Amino acid sequence: MQTQPVLKAGVMGFPIKHSLSPRLHGYWLKHYGIPGSYKAFEVKPQELAGALQGLKDNGLTGVNLTIPHKVAAFAIVNEIDGISRRVGAINLVTVNADGQLLGRNTDAYGFEQNLLSHGYARQGGRAFVLGAGGACRAVLVALQNMGFDEILLSNRTAAHAKRLANELSMANRKISPVEWEKAPALEDVDLLVNTTSLGMTGQPELDISLESLPFSATVTDIVYAPLETGLLRRAHERGNKTIDGLGMLLHQARPSFEAFFGINPEVTDELRRFVLAERN
Ligand code: ATR
């Protein structure tokens, strides 16, 4: 009797204890009946190059990367696609037949897929983005990819928003820095996105006024703990459509699972409940 090879993958980080990825990929492996494994590997920064270069010898099809390796891996992999270059961080490394390491970022994909899966299919329009940290880059690249005509970027430290806008603006997909205000000008905004850490468990709430936001606008937060941030609650209470951040986390994992195990997995309500049960 022939047995199927066991495909091996995992996530590298430091620390790694709190990663949700083993639970998430483990769920899909079981759900699809795939004889594979997905493990958490504690890899210190000085060990990263060796760990990635040793993927093939250790029988791994690839790995995800988390803090603090997402930027450092740029200098280690052999190839990076254009979108991932723009995002400036790598969260997926796969090995090809020649042993070359291919780096990718799937966060922009995850953000876009989360919106699409909630029926957000508007073409063009104006997006207003709060924050200018690491997570914001993937959101900006996704919004450009989705075809927004105008992207406004507001951050507490104006210099960070300016720098990001300069770096990522494209001729027909401009990013315009605007001032950080308690009552921002949200007229004509179709999509409002929080990429700051405000609203996260243990952090202060994002307390900007939504007064000028059209009721037709959608509001989304990349924070997913809690699932309903203060911003989403206030937006929901005034009648705006809201999309929580858990979907981005789940959708960004899909291309990784497909690269490791050959199946493009589904994000379902059951999966959401399964992942949330771990957190609570
Ligand atoms: P990440 O990589 O997760 O995006 P980060 O790079 O630390 O995290 O970015 C955090 C974001 O939240 C930044 O935009 C930060 O604003 P600054 O650039 O001014 O630091 C924003 N942020 C954090 N605390 C904030 C606060 N109390 N008020 C407003 N913005 C805040």
Rounded to an integer, the average pLDDT of 262-269 is 97
Catalytic residues: 70
**pLDDT at residue 142 above 90?**
yes
Summarize pLDDT for 167-200 with one digit per residue, the tens. Answer: 999 988 999 999 999 999 999 999 999 999 999 9
| Residues forming beta bridges with residue 24, ordered by sequence position | none
pLDDT at 251: 98
156 lines ligand 1 (CB under 6 A): yes
169 lines ligand 1 (CB under 6 A): no
89 lines ligand 1 (CB under 6 A): no
pLDDT at 98: 87
pLDDT at 1: 58
Summarize pLDDT for 96-118 with one digit per residue, the tens. Answer: 988 899 999 999 999 999 999 99
- Which ligand 1 atom sits closest to the C-alpha of 130? 14
159 lines ligand 1 (CB under 6 A): no
Q: Select from 196, 229, 231 the residue to mutate for testing ligand 1; criterion: most ligand atoms less than 8 Å from CB.
A: 196
The chain-wide mean pLDDT, for the chain, equals 95
Residues belonging to the chain = 280
157 lines ligand 1 (CB under 6 A): yes
What is the 3 state secondary structure string of the chain? CCCCCCEEEEEEECCCCCCCHHHHHHHHHHHCCCCEEEEEEECCHHHHHHHHHCCCCCCEEEEEECCCCCCHHHHCCCEECHHHHHHCCCCEEEECCCCCEEEECCHHHHHHHHHHHCCCCCCCCEEEEECCCHHHHHHHHHHHHHCCCEEEEECCCHHHHHHHHHHHCECCECEEEECCCCCCCCCCCCEEEECCCCCCCCCCCCCCCCCCCCCCCEEEECCCCCCCCHHHHHHHHCCCEEECCHHHHHHHCHHHHHHHHCCCCCCCHHHHHHHHHHHC
Summarize pLDDT for 208-259 with one digit per residue, the tens. Answer: 999 999 999 999 999 999 999 999 999 999 999 999 999 999 999 999 999 9
pLDDT at 278: 73
**pLDDT at residue 202 above 60?**
yes
- Which ligand 1 atom sits closest to the C-alpha of 135? 4
Q: Select from 197, 206, 207 the residue to mutate for testing ligand 1; criterion: most ligand atoms less than 8 Å from CB.
A: 197
Output the CA 205–ligand 1 centroid distance in Å.
12
Alpha-carbon distance values, 73 to 43, 84, 92, 139, 156 (Å): 12, 12, 10, 20, 29
Residues 230 and 208: beta-carbon distance below 8 Å: no
In the chain, the amino acid numbered 103 is G
135 lines ligand 1 (CB under 6 A): yes
User: Is the omega angle on the peptide bond into residue 265 within 30 degrees of 0, that is, cis?
Assistant: no
Residues 10 and 63: beta-carbon distance below 8 Å: yes
199 lines ligand 1 (CB under 6 A): no
Output the CA 91–ligand 1 centroid distance in Å.
20
Query: Residues 207, 208, 209, 215: what is their CA dihedral angle, to the nearest 10 degrees?
Result: -100
Q: Pull the structure tokens for residue 191.
A: 């999509």
- Which ligand 1 atom sits closest to the C-alpha of 196? 12
**pLDDT at residue 46 above 80?**
yes
